[in-house]
Structure 1
Amino acid sequence: MSRSAARTPLLILLAAFGVVALLISFQQTPEDRPQQSAAPLVRTVTAAPTEVRFTVRANGSVTPRTESALIPQVSGEVIEMSDQLVAGGFFDEGELLARIDDADYRVDREAARAQVARAQSEFGRADKELARQRRLADRSVASEARIDDAENAHRIAEASLREAQARLERAERDLSRTEIRAPYRGRVRNEQVDLGQFVNRGTAIATLYAIDYAEVRLPVPDRELAYLDLDQMRAAIAGEADSIGARVVLSARFAGSEHQWEGVLDRTEAELDPKSRMIPLVVRVPEPYRLEPPRSAPLAIGLFVDAEIEGRIVEEAYVVPRDALRADRRVYVIDEGDRIEFRNVQVLRTERDRVVIGAGLAPGERVCTSPLDAAIDGMLVRVSAAPEAAVAETLEAGEPSDLAGRNAGEAGVIP
């Protein structure tokens, strides 16, 4: 073997050692980084007791409190009509709406007066004859048969007089009924009569409704009654002093603008709808056609409106975001050591964006609002430093109640 071939392995070994030394000289020392916690980061809201007034939302149509057909009680030709006896016309109580030709009824009244005069004369004659026969009987001159005839004639004359007086009263009443007057202050829905038309007794000539106040029928689920002050409503229905129904704010879009009207909760109807399980609440709105602040439009009959009914007040309750409520009516309370504590609470109401809690929390406790899929009691968490005021402002700016949202979510229960 030649000398150059023997040196080749040695040179390769020396080159390898050189490469290793070069790599070691360029090696970088790893940085020391603090160990990060595996605890999940959560957001919280601080529990603070506050006064809460429940609100029940519903919607319905405006209806008149009284609607009736205008029906003449006598027959005849219409010889006079009020300018207000047209669809949409307004009228006052007792106002003359139409007049029927009364010539025949005046004749009937005069005939009845003559009959009364004749009956009065006959009655006077029979009364005198009865008195004369009784005087003769006292002197034992008149027979019993004459006295019986006189008494019978007296009774017949008396009955004839009463009959004649009744006929006169009916004739006068029929004559007065030729003037068709408004039974109350109201408005004409429609009319089916014209000047010169012959109308029959008992046939409707118009449809009227009262405008002293309107009613709105609001179907609500029976569970919503738990949020209303039923004692206040009973006192108002019973007419107790200083008692009125709950305040109701009605709103609708009318003539291209949003309008509001105020009313009071008057009563509930007698029974629930067996199919929908809804119970109708009746709201009364006084003077629906009167324009006065804050009204900017009349509350027209037939208008579809949204309603907010003021419910009962809970003096001390906790309002937290909807996300804070977990299954089985439980919330996650974060203790001072940043550990989760499972807490069962009394849920007064569950709404779309918030939950009203009656008991189970203490002032100042932190309630977790972040979703945690695998939370366990006592688990360590990290609390976000985000300001909690943003959560409170969101709750205050949110709607106090939303019927559609409540129907989609869990229904709250008041024990």
Structure 2
Amino acid sequence: MRIWKIATALTLIAAAGAFAYFRGDPQLLAGLLSKPADAAVEPAPMQAMPVPVTGVVKKTIPIYLDYAARTEAIRGVALQAKVSGYILGQPAIDGADVKRGDLLYRIDPRDYQAVLAQVQAQTERDQASLDYAKANLDRGSDLTKTGFLSKDSFQQRASAVAQGEATVVAGKAAIQAAEINLGYTVIKAPFDGRLGRNQAPVGTLINVGGAALNTLMQISPIYVTFAPSEAELVLIQKAKAEGPVTAEVTVPGDQGPPRKGELTFLDNQVDHTTGTIIARATIANEDLSLLPGQYVNIRLLVGERPDSLMVPQVALGSNQLGKFVYVVDQGKVGMRLVDLGPTEGSLISVTKGIAEGDQIISGNLQKIGPGMPVTPMSVPES
């Protein structure tokens, strides 16, 4: 009861205060008393938000196919010795870039020099014996005509000449073999390339057919191998039929310009387990920066797409329905779901969802939504 009395007193005080406030303006007081209690208050109109807009760009763009790839040496050999002996020297250091014919290893040649001298001396002796046998045969020919030499003795002299000639031929072959073996005591680069890590230090005794001394890889030019799909193979073959297919190779993390090359190989069958085919491009690699087995990215130029509609990539939004852009539609925000194509610089092509005359909203995307009033502000083209 006491609480009810207090509430009634407060209500009377408030009414008295209101009467005192509106006493100076009876019309205002009458209007307030005549207004229905449940009348809705009209909200203030929403102000249009200024947004930057850009027009749709129409242009011809290149069509690229991008792949992850690996580099591969055009030629690589394991350097092995064809003769036994001690390693005397390695003129080219580990990892050196060498030219064809450069000396890489020297093997102790003394044993092979001695063998060569021996067979040369033996051949010279056999040649002297042959010369004597030929002279003896010439004399026997005259004696046979006069009857002073029997035919059997003459035939023996002729046989000696034939045997001597064969012996000299064998001796010359032995000299050639000894020279070849002596030549094997120096190992030279069969082509331009880069040496690997040495496996036979100076003083090592090596044997024929033993472990490799080192490896030599040709890295300029170099192959880049990748695997297009069956669907992409059609585009590549069409482009290849029209002329050389340009390739650009980039290394992940490298900010330099891409390395240029050309598609040079398509395998003769598709792998039925993966649905891909082995392809290869040849890159000049003049700076020798690419190494065999390195992971790279490769891009093939397989054609052009005329009249492509391009929008800024920053204008793209994404939701559960896919990619979209906002456009200015009769002073309000309109949302367009889009299908995307290739990119070119800061622009991306849209294959479906926009028209050439659309105004694309390229800023304040987080502050707007479909149906909101906006004021477009043109953004100058960069």
Give the TM-score band, short-chain normalised.
0.5 to 0.7
Letter in 1 for 2:285: E
Counterpart pick for 2:91 among 79, 82, 93: 82
- After TM superposition, the score normalised by the length of structure 2 is 0.62
Q: How far apart, CA to CA, are the structure 2 residues paired with 1:271 and 1:288? A: 32
Aligned to 1:252: 251
Letter in 2 for 1:230: K
Aligned to 1:174: 181
Q: What RMSD, in angstroms, separates the aligned Cα atoms of the two structures?
A: 3.3
Please show how residues 123-138 of structure 1 align to structure 2 within 5 Å: 123-138=130-145
Deviations along 1:330-361, one digit per CA (max 9) or x if unpaired, are: xxxxxxxxxxxxxxxxxxxxx97249xxxxxx
Deviations along 1:187-240, one digit per CA (max 9) or x if unpaired, are: 12332110111011222111110133110111111332321323356xxxxxxx
Q: How much does 1:139 deviate?
A: 4.5
Deviations along 1:143-193, one digit per CA (max 9) or x if unpaired, are: 332333222222211111011111111111211221111112211233211
SS in 2 for 1:98: strand
Q: How far apart, CA to CA, are the structure 1 residues paired with 2:307 and 2:234? A: 18
Distance of aligned partners of 1:352 and 1:134 in 2 relative to their CA distance in 1, 3 Å threshold: farther
SS in 1 for 2:251: strand
Q: How far apart, CA to CA, are the structure 1 residues paired with 2:74 and 2:203? A: 32
Percent identical pairs in the alignment equals: 20
Distance of aligned partners of 1:63 and 1:140 in 2 relative to their CA distance in 1, 3 Å threshold: same
Q: How far apart, CA to CA, are the structure 1 residues paired with 2:240 and 2:309? A: 26
Q: How much does 1:302 deviate?
A: 2.3
Counterpart pick for 2:281 among 259, 280, 283: 283
Whether 1:220 aligns to 2:219 is: no
Letter in 2 for 1:132: R
Distance of aligned partners of 1:253 and 1:313 in 2 relative to their CA distance in 1, 3 Å threshold: closer
Deviations along 1:279-312, one digit per CA (max 9) or x if unpaired, are: 111111113435xxxxxxx223322111111114
Whether 1:92 aligns to 2:99 is: yes
- After TM superposition, the score normalised by the length of structure 1 is 0.58
Q: How far apart, CA to CA, are the structure 2 residues paired with 1:187 and 1:68? A: 11
The question of whether the paired residues in 2 share the 8 Å contact of 1:215 and 1:283 is answered with yes
Whether 1:200 aligns to 2:184 is: no
Q: How much does 1:259 deviate?
A: 5.3
Counterpart pick for 1:230 among 232, 240, 250: 240
Q: Which runs of no fewer than 5 residues in structure 2 stay unpaired?
A: 1-54, 311-337, 343-350, 363-382
The question of whether the paired residues in 2 share the 8 Å contact of 1:288 and 1:300 is answered with no
Whether 1:161 aligns to 2:174 is: no
SS in 2 for 1:279: coil
Q: How far apart, CA to CA, are the structure 2 residues paired with 1:136 and 1:390? A: 118
Length, aligned pairs only? 270
Q: How far apart, CA to CA, are the structure 2 residues paired with 1:140 and 1:222? A: 92
Distance of aligned partners of 1:141 and 1:52 in 2 relative to their CA distance in 1, 3 Å threshold: farther
Distance of aligned partners of 1:352 and 1:247 in 2 relative to their CA distance in 1, 3 Å threshold: farther
The question of whether the paired residues in 2 share the 8 Å contact of 1:320 and 1:354 is answered with no
The question of whether the paired residues in 2 share the 8 Å contact of 1:219 and 1:279 is answered with yes
The question of whether the paired residues in 1 share the 8 Å contact of 2:79 and 2:214 is answered with yes
Q: Which runs of no fewer than 5 residues in structure 1 stay unpaired?
A: 1-44, 234-244, 291-297, 322-350, 356-366, 371-383, 394-415
